Amino acid sequence: MFAIASHQNQYQSYTLSDRQAHSWLEVVPERGGIVTSWGIRGQEILYLDAERFAQPNLSVRGGIPILFPICGNLPDNAYTYQDRVYSLKQHGFARDLPWEVTEEVTQDLAGLTLVLNTNDRTREVYPFDFKLAFTYQIQGDTLNIEQTYTNLSDTAMPFSTGLHPYFQTTDKTKLQFEIPSSEYQDQRSQAVHQFDGSFDFESDEIDVIFRQLSGNSATVTDISRHLRLTLSYDRTYSTLVFWTVKGKDYYCLEPWTAARNALNSGDRLLYIEPGASWQAVVRLQATFF
């Protein structure tokens, strides 16, 4: 019922499948450990800009990129740690580096574990030794993303983390949102607005952040696709970001543990003590009706 296959195109890719549910998941370890495709009943859930994906010098726009050790950007792409200034670009480096496959599971579910370790490139911009392990699991209509962050340094390691899923849609005006917050902040103007469950999709770009969450899940119903998506996350994910661009057939609903600039501000920044690990789970469930 469950299977994992690998194939080599531009990159080596792994396809996890649940044959009974007609669901699949495609993962490309060397391109940032990214999920590039997730489908159920023969229908694709995610959006992927294939042209950008084929260019290694460009960040991927689509799939489910991994954000670490920051979410969003820093002012001037810089932060200070122990009186030294470091440069770190938007969303960090995890989405740009090759990950290593360490385990495959096909018993009771299809699961693939990837690992990212410290290297000389990461130390230049982030002076900590670490090990990240992400396990992608599919079973029926559900995708679980289990995460373990381990600090191998001799000092406490500060970080924030998140996911940046791009969901495919054909008509944004047919989207209905259930987000556990009554207000959001525009990330460009910094203005705070009351949230009534809808957005103005005539705007060229929508980039807003929900920071006062009253629950651990959010749901988007796409009437045009007869698809209901539920995003569930641990309490450590204190923030949800909604982002989309006019004229593009996607929207992003992103769980973050902290908002932009947390490495400088310290706001909701996570710390792992030396030798310790921190674990988290994000779950996506897709239901067609």
User: Which pairs count as long-range contacts for 182-188, CB under 8 Å and 24+ apart, including other chains?
Assistant: 182/212, 183/210, 183/212, 184/208, 184/209, 184/210, 184/242, 185/209, 185/211, 187/72, 187/241, 187/260
Residues 6 or more apart whose CB falls under 8 angstroms from that of 10 comprise 54
The C-alpha atoms of residue 165 and residue 148 are separated, in whole angstroms, by: 19
For residues 236 and 270, the answer to whether their CB atoms sit within 8 Å is: yes
Residue 52's H or E segment, with its range, is helix 50-53
Tracing tokens 């996506």 back to the chain, one arrives at 284
Query: Quick one: tokens of 237?
Result: 């994910």
Q: Residue ranges of the chain with pLDDT lower than 70?
A: none
Instruction: Identify the pLDDT of residue 26.
Output: 98
Read off the amino acid at residue 254. E
User: What pLDDT does residue 279 have?
Assistant: 98
Q: What is the pLDDT of residue 87?
A: 97
Token output for 20: 């009974």
Structure tokens at 202: 């005539």
Per-residue CA distances from 189 to 184, 198, 207 (Å): 12, 19, 10
Nearest to 89 by CA among 143, 125, 123, 121: 125
pTM: 0.97
- 272 and 150 Cβ atoms separated by less than 8 Å: yes
Letter for the amino acid at 228?
A: R
In eight-state DSSP terms, residue 149 is E
**Pair 197, 235: CB distance under 8 Å:** no
Pairwise CA distance, residues 245 & 63, whole Å: 16
Please state the three-class secondary structure of 11-34 as a single string. Answer: CEEEEEEECCCCEEEEEECCCCCE
- Phi-psi category of residue 62: left, alpha or beta, with phi > 0 → left and psi -120 to 50 → alpha: left
- The sign of the CA dihedral 170, 164, 284, 105 is positive
Domains, the chain: 2-288 (2.70.98.10)
Q: Cβ of 48: how many Cβ atoms within 10 Å?
A: 21
237, 210 contact by CB (below 8 A): no
pLDDT at 249: 97
| Predicted pLDDT of residue 93 | 98
What is the pLDDT at residue 68?
Answer: 98
Encode burial over 78-116: b for 16+ CB neighbours within 10 A, e otherwise.
ebeeeeeebebeebbbbbbbebebeeeeeeebbbbbbbb
